[in-house]
Amino acid sequence: MYSAHNKALKRNKNSWLRFASLHIITSCFCPLSAALTALMKLTTDFDKLGFHDASIENIERKLESVTLEIKGAFISKEHPGSEGHDWTVEEATLEILGVSKERATYWDDDKAEKEHPEPEFPLDEIMHANFVNGIFSFDGFKQTVPWYEWFITASSFILEVKSASKFSS
């Protein structure tokens, strides 16, 4: 037969102090804490970010924003938020803000673009990404089939990097 013995904890007016040090350790020095927060949040210099061969895992639309869950991006050491290093981004969220318009197309020949059959998830692999004159443009593949395009008229972005490693050449 199993029996458990629970001894009452002795408490005094300073008992709470043992929790303060534990809180400091877990909040400031714990690798888990770092893993649960974003490594970087970038809001400028979209041209110094690379999305070639990046996969789009999920797309979420809210009022005036489109959020992409991305795997496989790149941050150039020339980006002001890169700490002077090239980064391979394993996981990130790209939130496009101030969205006023979206348009998705595809090409099955070289004559003219056609209306996208699935505009809610226009592509799943990015080959090129740009942000010029208030328009984000992405092109690439949808289920390994080329060529799809996605244009988002918006004002800004936040790239929240969740997992990345320094790129070694």
pLDDT tens digits for 52-86?
A: 999 999 999 999 999 999 999 999 999 999 999 99
> Is residue 66 domain-resident?
yes
Domain limits for position 76: 38-166
Residue 68 lies in a domain: yes
Condensed to tens digits (0 to 9), the pLDDT of residues 89-111 reads 999 999 999 999 999 999 987 78
pTM: 0.76
Residue 58 resides in a domain: yes
Pick 152 or 23 by higher pLDDT: 152
Phi, psi of 71, rounded to the nearest 5 degrees: -125, 135
Between residues 167 and 156, the one the model is more confident about: 156
CA dihedral 110, 111, 114, 117 (to 10 degrees): -40
Say whether pLDDT at 9 is over 60: no
Number of compact structural domains in the chain: 1
Inside any domain, residue 71? yes
Specify if 73 maps to a domain. yes
Cα 16–chain centre separation: 38
- Using CA atoms, how far residue 135 sits from 6, 88, 115, in Å, is 64, 25, 18
> What's the burial of 153, exposed, middle or buried (CB within 10 Å: 0-12/13-18/19+)?
middle
If one counts every other C-beta atom within 10 angstroms of the C-beta of residue 103, the result is 16
Domain assignment present for 29: no
